[in-house]
Amino acid sequence: MQKALIYLRVSTDKQAEKGIAIPTQKEKCLECLKTHNYDFDETTDLYTDKGESARTMDRPALLDMITRCETDKNVGAIIVYDLSRLARDRMDFAMIKQMLKKHEIKFISATETAIDESPEGQFLEGILSATAEFSSTQNARRVKLNMAKKAKDGIWPTRAPFGYRNVQEKVSTGKVHAWIEVDESQRQWVGRVFMLYATGQYGIRQLAGQLQGEGFLVKQGKQLQPSFVENMLKNKFYIGAYDWPRKKPRFTVENAQHPPIISRDVFEAVQSVMYAHNLGADRKRKHHFLLRGLAVCGECGSRWTAGYHRSSNGKHYGFYSCQKKISINRVTCSQRAIDINELEVQFEKLIKLAQLPERVVQKVRLKLKKIFEKDEAMYEQIRKSLITRIENSRQKKRALLHKNLEGKIDDDTYDQENILFISEEKILNDQLEKVEMSIAKMVRTVEMSLALANNCYRAYQKAPYDLRVLIARSFFEKLVIKDKQIVQATLNAPLDYLCAKRLQGYPVFQLADNCGHYIKKFGLISSRTPNEARAERVVA
């Protein structure tokens, strides 16, 4: 006697509520089996896929059953609860039917008894297959639209990234309230990843190795991959923002409802380091070189690189040399290689020239304090007021949500009022961001820059080579090399503005086109206004 195989499938737990759970399907298929003359062994002839979509053939039990049909000549039929359990894609269903026909295996639907090999039965089968596909694509579109709506409202609609967890709570009305919260066991690792990379001393691969050695917790005991670390560093989710969907076209949500783990300042610093590494091809190598990533050619505009070469007598010599290549295109250049020590001695002299004397630093610091003391207090008062208003808005949103979940207001009313709260909160957050990027922050940055400018040469002399690399990048934006000389040096902002007067007598130092822009963007210098004169007095 030939055997019958039974195939059962559910894609979600919700199907249990609709009466097509696994036990229901199994019971109906066994009832159908009794009306046909086939042998059946539940331990070997029952195939079950749980939590698998019928829109794909990549289902473990289905693939096992297909292999069985192709190799076991004793299989005479397969039985399913209905056609949609087998496939919701017409092409997939047609391929399965073709395979069954080739091996003379009968397809039986326990609840669609009109399906048979007659023309009418085949016609009905085609209609049901198309209907199953239509229902699947329609549901997918509905889910996609609902997810997009949640995303626009500031709610991440899918699984939370590392550092967060998805939480669900069922309220008395039966509705499920879902949200995302910080996973405290993973928060420290997120901060560690960003903190280490922001130093500029790690490439992605080296950072992954460092974190693995420190015991970074990866799911299922897997080894930490560099791609995982890179995706974390690029993910705006950690600052309370995200892009949706993953594929274009997409939109950006700047003020999402989940709490941030990383500050925007740290995130932007990390992006700058990543950009600098990529731009200068500054991956982690066997050797550190002080000026690699900063030096460009004064003749052709290419980046300069560095390396050690072995001579015929076995000695190693280090050289900086022009890559003679812009992007992937080779260029003509006559510049010759320079001994590493020769060029780095020139750089050390530039560091010494740029160091501000203590008397100048104290003078600037006192003037800054007088000018911005009152403004800083005013901005702090505004900041606290905005934070209070944002928290009040969030409390109103939570109260509105509870009213909706308890059935006190309908969904339409909830949607209308919730949109108003979201709009209000976005406006307040935008205002808060502008305030936090104001005078107080600028003063702190200028103070840090003053400290660096006041101690750069002393720190450089005492620092190990790896730390000298970091000092060089903190201080300089670009160095132009020509005829074995540093012919032009551009400082990073706002150091360029603070050191401008001291460096006027040294043509090698060139102010960037946006010199002073860091201070100007906070409204402290406006072209052709009294404020400009005031700011100029600060750095005089």
Mean pLDDT throughout 501-508?
77
Confidence of residue 467 (pLDDT cuts 50, 70, 90): confident
Residue, of 139 and 255, whose pLDDT is higher: 255
Instruction: Calculate what percentage of the chain has a pLDDT beyond 90.
Output: 25
What span, in angstroms and rounded, lies between the C-alpha atoms of 254 and 426?
A: 8
Angle at 415 between CA 409 and CA 416, to 5 degrees: 95
Q: How does pLDDT run across 78-135, given as a tens digit for each residue? A: 999 988 888 888 888 888 888 998 999 999 999 988 887 788 778 777 787 777 777 7
Which of 260-264, 388-392, 536-540 bottoms out in mean pLDDT, i.e. has the lowest?
Answer: 536-540
pLDDT at 528 over 60: no
Residue, of 339 and 113, whose pLDDT is higher: 339
Packing angle between helix 204-214 and helix 226-234, nearest 10 degrees? 110
Give me the domains of the chain, ranges plus CATH numbers.
3-149 (3.40.50.1390), 182-279 (3.90.1750.20)
Four-point Cα dihedral 25, 31, 32, 38, nearest 10: 110
pLDDT score for 372: 62
Backbone angles phi, psi at 12, to 5 degrees: -145, 165
Which of 4-13, 60-69, 157-166 bottoms out in mean pLDDT, i.e. has the lowest?
Answer: 4-13
Q: Of residues 11, 53, 385, 474, which has the active-site annotation? A: 11
What span, in angstroms and rounded, lies between the C-alpha atoms of 464 and 165?
A: 41
Confidence of residue 358 (pLDDT cuts 50, 70, 90): confident
pLDDT at 233 over 90: yes
- CB atoms under 10 Å from CB of 152, counted, come to 14
> Which range among 127-141, 382-396, 525-539 has the greatest average pLDDT?
382-396
pLDDT score for 342: 93
Q: Mean pLDDT across the chain, nearest whole number?
A: 79
Confidence of residue 538 (pLDDT cuts 50, 70, 90): very low
Selection from 135, 124, 448 nearest residue 269 by Cα: 448
Mean pLDDT throughout 419-428?
76
DSSP state of 485: E
Residue, of 453 and 258, whose pLDDT is higher: 258
Q: Which residues 6+ apart lie within 8 Å of 407 measured at CB?
A: 173
What is the pTM (predicted TM-score) of this model? 0.41
Burial environment of residue 453 by CB neighbours within 10 A (0 to 12, 13 to 18, 19 or more)? buried
Residue, of 19 and 156, whose pLDDT is higher: 156
CB 267 within 8 A of CB 238: yes
pLDDT score for 531: 39
Which of 29-43, 52-66, 212-226, 369-383 bottoms out in mean pLDDT, i.e. has the lowest?
Answer: 369-383
CB 85 within 8 A of CB 25: yes
pLDDT at 275 over 80: no
pLDDT at 51 over 70: yes
Residue 11 appears among annotated catalytic residues: yes
Confidence of residue 375 (pLDDT cuts 50, 70, 90): low
pLDDT at 60 over 60: yes
pLDDT score for 283: 44
pLDDT score for 449: 61
Task: Supply 274's token pair.
Answer: 């990543």
Q: How does pLDDT run across 146-188, given as a tens digit for each residue? A: 888 888 888 888 899 999 999 988 776 777 788 899 998 899 8
Selection from 4, 11, 5, 26 nearest residue 111 by Cα: 26
pLDDT at 533 over 50: no
Mean pLDDT throughout 387-394?
85
What span, in angstroms and rounded, lies between the C-alpha atoms of 441 and 436?
A: 7
Residue, of 519 and 221, whose pLDDT is higher: 221
Burial environment of residue 497 by CB neighbours within 10 A (0 to 12, 13 to 18, 19 or more)? buried
